[in-house]
Chains A and B, each alone.
Chain A
């Protein structure tokens, strides 16, 4: 089934450890995003990429980095995890406007639940 694959689905991590959450899409979407979901705060944008080779900071980028070496992959790295990074992380993608009606709808992966102790 086409879509977005995230890995791992769940991880417990010691504080101070490095962690990379993987995200792969097979829809050839140009834009990709990382959000974190926290109770009472909804989803907040961490980093995004409008096209391969470019990235940008979202609302809560501190402590996270991303790369976009190709269209399909958009990994999120926590260089030194802290307990406040305990969250559910969603990767998403969207088509860029190539003419015609394009709402900008996001397609989401199933999420990665990360616990930092």
Chain B
């Protein structure tokens, strides 16, 4: 079974608008972490934001926020005030367990295109 599901292969958003990227996950481990990475057309992987399963508040990093709904096993990324430079592929990923074994499982990704 897929551990991370991203159901939106591609999205268009108008500049300055907000966009929400969906991510659902599957784990039976009570301790886990959720990540979002950005991959621009140049190919590098850029870490955006992290949410721990025991974190009481939703994570925020500048224009990025993570809408963490634990009961629904979803960890949607919200990008506010989109900019042209936000056009990229976005990956949701999960680490299971509190151990030192930090293998991440990734979703298939969502391509975001920001229109001027």
Closest CB in chain B relative to A2 CB, distance in Å: 15
Compute the total of residue contacts between A and B using a CB distance below 8 Å.
Answer: 61
Interface 1/0s, chain B 86-98, versus A by CB < 8 A?
0000010101001
In contact, B103 and A33 (Cβ under 8 angstroms): yes
Take A43-B91, A111-B44 as given contacts and tell me if A96 and B100 are in contact as well, using a CB distance cutoff of 8 Å. yes
**Taking the complex as formed, is A81 at the interface, i.e. its CB lies under 8 A from any CB of chain B?**
no
A33 to B9 Cα, complex, angstroms: 26
A45 to B52 Cα, complex, angstroms: 21
Take A103-B33, A105-B35 as given contacts and tell me if A45 and B44 are in contact as well, using a CB distance cutoff of 8 Å. no
Take A96-B102, A106-B104 as given contacts and tell me if A42 and B109 are in contact as well, using a CB distance cutoff of 8 Å. yes
A45 to B96 Cα, complex, angstroms: 14
In contact, A103 and B106 (Cβ under 8 angstroms): no
Inter-chain contacts of A111 with B (CB < 8 A): 43-44
Take A42-B91, A43-B106, A103-B52 as given contacts and tell me if A97 and B100 are in contact as well, using a CB distance cutoff of 8 Å. yes
In contact, A50 and B100 (Cβ under 8 angstroms): yes
Contacting A at CB under 8 A, from B73-116, are 91, 93, 95, 98-109
In contact, A41 and B50 (Cβ under 8 angstroms): no
In contact, B100 and A105 (Cβ under 8 angstroms): no
Inter-chain contacts of B33 with A (CB < 8 A): 103-104
In contact, A42 and B107 (Cβ under 8 angstroms): yes
A35 to B104 Cα, complex, angstroms: 10
A108 to B95 Cα, complex, angstroms: 16
Choice from B6, B47, B52, B99 contacting A106 with Cβ under 8 Å: B47
Closest CB in chain A relative to B21 CB, distance in Å: 13
A92 to B102 Cα, complex, angstroms: 11
**Taking the complex as formed, is B45 at the interface, i.e. its CB lies under 8 A from any CB of chain A?**
yes
Q: B-side interface residues toward A, CB under 8 Å? A: 4, 6, 9, 33, 35, 43-45, 47, 50, 52, 91, 93, 95, 98-109
16 contacts between A and B (CB under 8 A): A30-B100, A41-B108, A42-B4, A42-B106, A42-B107, A43-B93, A43-B106, A48-B103, A50-B100, A88-B43, A94-B102, A96-B102, A104-B95, A106-B35, A108-B44, A110-B44
